[in-house]
């Protein structure tokens, strides 16, 4: 018998997630300024298929239709992100009325159809003006972020009850400032750890600001966690797994949840220049109490000791670690499908902060989709991925892990960062020529699951 909604407590939150730059379009409307992604997508070769988020899903102009889609799916909640440069075009100064008005109208529409808003304050779209002042390598950016958070939450506290400070600071720091495959596309080696620290500091500074502006609000952060295991028992392979778990998981979990940096990871990073500014003194700020931890889970890593391949690495200090293809099935991204890994990362988070509510804020898969002659989109692989991970959530609840919600990535196909429009993760298909939205069979499965209509 397949998993059912009533395997979960009735208070469990079911939702879908998106991010501003991936869906909104309207990049030059309402006074919005450019973000680092607007600049990055214009670099030749940065985006696999040469597309941009200029139009994306044209969500700004189709918000009514998109809220109706969610109501149709029957979700309880919607996680979206707020575009910082739509609020502060240059990352400083007063909030733009058009920007605030857009998100207020979105939240009000959601509430009107019984969908609870969950807003992420930063899903990777730093105002370009701040990048030109050094971006996340500069401490001041953390203070600018906290100021922006205050402006937004003061305006929207009455319509948005749930706030997420940052989405996946590992990606912002190490894909943005080490491997350079994401905006702002810099290759700074272990200096990228400075960006990680300033992102975490921004989070820690923002939490009390959010609480002051919205005393009733629920506040958390979203980390991307991987299940990591060594390819063999050989000491070097075990060490490779320790390094990747360290840089990817513990470098973020430990400061946020326990107010410490993992010593072994600091050693791996070597003479990390971020220490010069006495990063350790910021740890109590970074460890500001939160109400939940958001976990984004997609895949498992199997690692072994190898040789650096000479390309700028997203794992500075651990360039020699190799990621092994195990032969297990993968999605179109090449990411191994391993639902049990979700349990591994939830166990790891729960061990670091016993009792803290955990929410899966993203989980999903990319596959090539085809619209059938009858207009339907049949995506059995995505449906299976979704079902298997919902089953893993049911197992987490059975084990007594404090898991309180699940958000599928993503509501609808959208601009998949460096992959542009060449990767589709949506439960709803988007035709980029016509902007027509068509629920895929995975979306229809989710709807039946949510309505308790599965056999």
Catalytic residues: 168, 362
Task: Kindly state the smallest distance separating residue 224's Cβ from ligand FCB, in Å.
Answer: 6
In the bound state with ligand FCB, the residue whose beta carbon lies nearer, of 299 and 302, is: 299
Contact between 167 and ligand FCB by CB under 6 A: the answer reads yes
* Phi/psi at 219 (5° precision): -130, 135
Q: Tokens in use for 99?
A: 């920007």
Of 425, 445, 446, 449, the one binding ligand FCB (CB under 6 A) is 425
In the bound state with ligand FCB, the residue whose beta carbon lies nearer, of 296 and 438, is: 296
Contact between 57 and ligand FCB by CB under 6 A: the answer reads no
Contact between 19 and ligand FCB by CB under 6 A: the answer reads yes
Task: Kindly state the smallest distance separating residue 167's Cβ from ligand FCB, in Å.
Answer: 5
Q: Tokens in use for 185?
A: 């596309």
Contact between 126 and ligand FCB by CB under 6 A: the answer reads no
Q: What is the DSSP string of 13-40?
A: EEEEE--HHHH---TTSTTPPPBHHHHH
In the bound state with ligand FCB, the residue whose beta carbon lies nearer, of 181 and 287, is: 181
Contact between 78 and ligand FCB by CB under 6 A: the answer reads no
Of 38, 362, 379, 413, the one binding ligand FCB (CB under 6 A) is 362
- Hey, is 305 helix, strand or coil? strand
Total residues interacting with ligand FCB, rule: CB under 6 A: 12
Beta-bridge partners for 405? 13, 359
Task: Kindly state the smallest distance separating residue 355's Cβ from ligand FCB, in Å.
Answer: 26
Please list every residue from 285 through 344 that binds ligand FCB, using CB under 6 A.
296
* Phi/psi at 126 (5° precision): -60, 135
Residue 327: exposure state from Cβ atoms within 10 A (0-12, 13-18, ≥19): exposed
Task: Kindly state the smallest distance separating residue 298's Cβ from ligand FCB, in Å.
Answer: 7
Task: Kindly state the smallest distance separating residue 10's Cβ from ligand FCB, in Å.
Answer: 28
What are the Cα distances from residue 163, in Å, to 144, 209, 211, 222, 401?
Answer: 18, 12, 10, 10, 22
Contact between 416 and ligand FCB by CB under 6 A: the answer reads yes
Task: Kindly state the smallest distance separating residue 171's Cβ from ligand FCB, in Å.
Answer: 6
CA–CA gap between residue 210 and residue 232 (Å, rounded): 45
Q: What is the DSSP string of 373-390?
A: TTS-B--HHHHHHHHHHH
Task: Kindly state the smallest distance separating residue 454's Cβ from ligand FCB, in Å.
Answer: 26
- Letters for 212-231 (x = contact with ligand FCB by CB under 6 A, - = none) are ------------x-------
* Among candidate residues 73, 153, 92, the one with its CA nearest the CA of residue 119: 153
**What DSSP element (H or E) covers 74?**
none
Local structure of residue 8 (DSSP, 8 states): S
CA–CA gap between residue 165 and residue 397 (Å, rounded): 25
Contact between 409 and ligand FCB by CB under 6 A: the answer reads yes
For β-strands 13-17 and 77-81, DSSP reports them as parallel
Q: Tokens in use for 341?
A: 């890994």
The CA-based angle 288-357-413, given to 5 degrees, is: 100
CA–CA gap between residue 240 and residue 242 (Å, rounded): 5
**What DSSP element (H or E) covers 178?**
none
In the bound state with ligand FCB, the residue whose beta carbon lies nearer, of 128 and 365, is: 365
For β-strands 436-439 and 428-431, DSSP reports them as antiparallel
Contact between 83 and ligand FCB by CB under 6 A: the answer reads no
In the bound state with ligand FCB, the residue whose beta carbon lies nearer, of 47 and 266, is: 47
Contact between 171 and ligand FCB by CB under 6 A: the answer reads yes
Pick the piece of the chain touching ligand FCB (CB under 6 A) from 134-142, 167-175, 253-261, 394-402: 167-175
Task: Kindly state the smallest distance separating residue 114's Cβ from ligand FCB, in Å.
Answer: 25
* Phi/psi at 167 (5° precision): -100, 120
CA–CA gap between residue 392 and residue 115 (Å, rounded): 24
In the bound state with ligand FCB, the residue whose beta carbon lies nearer, of 8 and 226, is: 226
In the bound state with ligand FCB, the residue whose beta carbon lies nearer, of 8 and 170, is: 170
Pick the piece of the chain touching ligand FCB (CB under 6 A) from 36-44, 163-171, 274-282, 377-385: 163-171
239: Cα within 13 Å, side-chain hemisphere: 12
Residue 328: exposure state from Cβ atoms within 10 A (0-12, 13-18, ≥19): exposed
Contact between 417 and ligand FCB by CB under 6 A: the answer reads yes
In the bound state with ligand FCB, the residue whose beta carbon lies nearer, of 274 and 367, is: 367
Contact between 392 and ligand FCB by CB under 6 A: the answer reads no
Task: Kindly state the smallest distance separating residue 66's Cβ from ligand FCB, in Å.
Answer: 16
In the bound state with ligand FCB, the residue whose beta carbon lies nearer, of 5 and 123, is: 123
- The Cβ of residue 293 has, within 10 Å, a number of other Cβ atoms equal to 24
Pick the piece of the chain touching ligand FCB (CB under 6 A) from 165-173, 193-201, 314-322, 439-447: 165-173
Interface ranges with ligand FCB (CB under 6 A): 19, 22, 167-168, 171, 224, 296, 362, 409, 416-417, 425
């Amino acid at each position: 018998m397949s998993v059912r909604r009533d395997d979960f407590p009735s208070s469990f939150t079911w939702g879908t997630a998106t991010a501003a730059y991936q869906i909104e379009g309207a990049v030059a409307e309402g006074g919005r300024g450019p973000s680092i992604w607007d600049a990055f997508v214009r670099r030749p070769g940065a985006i696999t298929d040469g597309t941009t988020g200029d139009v994306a899903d044209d969500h700004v102009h189709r918000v009514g239709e998109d809220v109706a889609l969610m109501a149709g799916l029957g979700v309880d909640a919607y996680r979206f992100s707020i575009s910082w440069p739509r609020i502060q075009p240059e990352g400083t100064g007063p909030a733009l009325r058009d920007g605030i008005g857009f998100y207020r109208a979105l939240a009000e529409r959601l509430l009107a159809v019984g969908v609870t808003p969950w807003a992420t304050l930063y899903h990777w779209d730093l105002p370009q003006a701040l990048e030109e002042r050094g971006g996340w390598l500069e401490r001041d950016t953390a203070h600018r972020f906290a100021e922006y958070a205050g402006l937004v939450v003061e305006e929207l506290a009455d319509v948005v009850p749930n706030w997420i400070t940052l989405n996946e600071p590992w990606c912002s720091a190490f894909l943005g400032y080490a491997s350079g495959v994401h905006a702002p596309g810099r290759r700074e080696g272990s200096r990228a750890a400075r960006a990680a620290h300033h992102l975490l500091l921004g989070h820690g500074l923002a939490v009390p600001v959010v609480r002051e502006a919205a005393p009733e609000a629920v506040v958390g952060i979203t980390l991307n966690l991987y299940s990591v295991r060594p390819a063999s028992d050989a000491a070097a392979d075990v060490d490779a797994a320790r390094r990747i778990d360290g840089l990817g998981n513990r470098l973020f979990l430990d400061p946020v949840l326990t107010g410490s940096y993992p010593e072994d990871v600091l050693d791996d990073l070597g003479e990390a220049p971020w220490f010069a500014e006495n990063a350790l003194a910021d740890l109590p700020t970074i460890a500001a109490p939160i109400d939940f931890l958001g976990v984004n889970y997609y895949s498992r890593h199997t690692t072994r000791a190898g040789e650096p391949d000479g390309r700028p690495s997203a794992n500075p200090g651990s360039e020699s670690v190799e990621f092994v293809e195990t032969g297990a099935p993968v999605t179109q991204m090449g990411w191994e499908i391993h639902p049990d890994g979700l349990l591994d990362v939830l166990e790891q988070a729960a061990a670091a902060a016993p009792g803290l509510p955990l929410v899966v804020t993203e989980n999903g898969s990319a596959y090539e989709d085809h619209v059938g002659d009858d207009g339907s989109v049949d995506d059995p692989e995505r449906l299976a991925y979704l079902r298997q991970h919902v089953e893993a959530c049911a197992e987490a609840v059975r084990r007594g892990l404090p898991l309180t919600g699940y958000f599928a990535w993503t509501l609808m196909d959208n601009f998949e960062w460096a992959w542009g429009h060449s990767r589709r993760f949506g439960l709803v298909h988007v035709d980029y020529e016509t902007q027509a939205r068509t629920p895929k069979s995975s979306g229809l499965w989710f709807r039946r699951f949510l309505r308790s209509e599965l056999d």
